Amino acid sequence: MPEEIVLNTAQRQSETPKTMHSLDNPIWHSLSTLHAHFAQGDELAKRYPPEVTLLAGMGEPTAEAYASLAKTLQRSGAALFLDQPPRIPAGWITVHSSPIVQMICEQPKLAQDGFPAEKLTPADVPEMIALAELTKPGPFGTRTRELGEYLGIRQSKRLVAMAGERLHLQGYTEVSAVCTHPEFQGRGYARELMSILMRKIMQRGEMPILHVRQENVSAIHVYEKLGFRTRRLINFVIIRAA
């Protein structure tokens, strides 16, 4: 049976407009706080090392911030979460642009299916990358595993499902890279892995968040059954310097 957890009053009261505003620019706030040790850039624009993830953020999407971001890109691109529809300055190429759904979980309903999940290690990175390339959960690099805890489920020693933590900002942790090999979908593996991660996040006094493609209706349905609700749409853009 699902386990329902209701956040306490103090946690609910922390959901003030000021705190919620950090979710409108989550990459920037992650790189400016709990993931500052990953940050490359300055007070205008910051990015993760490209081998960790292509994610980058700006305090405000000004021309000066884009110019600052360009200094750190070298030959790699950048993936942005923008609060407003993108207005990319001249000198940039837009590789991809689409809205994504930002979801937040205030009243989790966790699964207890008992599938054998294991913590993924550096030795598992090749399999993690292969699974991510097959299922396309979002940007995933050779060092993405360093962003937080990543869990997996194996069948016949083969990694068939995984999920992990990506963005970390004050009061929130993002659940990310949720994916299952097509041959093993529909068994509840993603729900089990997410439930384990969500429980750990809440035990730290934080709230789970996630981002999902708007057209991925089946995934959104799974997340809603776990207690997530849609907070807003975020503009997801991948750019590179021309």
Quick: pLDDT tens for 16-49.
Answer: 444 448 999 999 999 999 999 999 999 999 999 9
Burial 84-118, CB ≥16 within 10 A → b, else e: eeeeeeeebeeeeeeebbbbbbbebbbbeeebebe
> What percentage of residues in the chain have a pLDDT greater than 70?
92
- The helix/strand/coil state of 218 is helix
3-class secondary structure for 24-58? HCHHHHHHHCCCHHHCEECCCEEECCCCCCCEEEE
**Alpha carbon distances (Å) from 65 to 43, 44, 50, 59, 60:** 9, 5, 18, 8, 7
Give the structural domain span for 148.
Answer: 3-8+102-232
Mean pLDDT of 208-214: 96
The rounded distance, in Å, linking the Cα atoms of 157 and 171 is: 36
Is 241 contained in some domain?
A: no
Same domain, 69 and 143: no
Nearest to 96 by CA among 242, 241, 236: 236
- The helix/strand/coil state of 108 is coil
Amino acid letter, 5? I
Same domain, 162 and 219: yes
Asked if residue 4 has pLDDT above 80, the reply is no
Same domain, 61 and 161: no
Question: pLDDT at position 138, please?
Answer: 84
Is 123 contained in some domain?
A: yes
Same domain, 21 and 54: yes
Where is the domain boundary, 101, 132, 160?
101
**Predicted TM-score (pTM) above 0.85:** yes
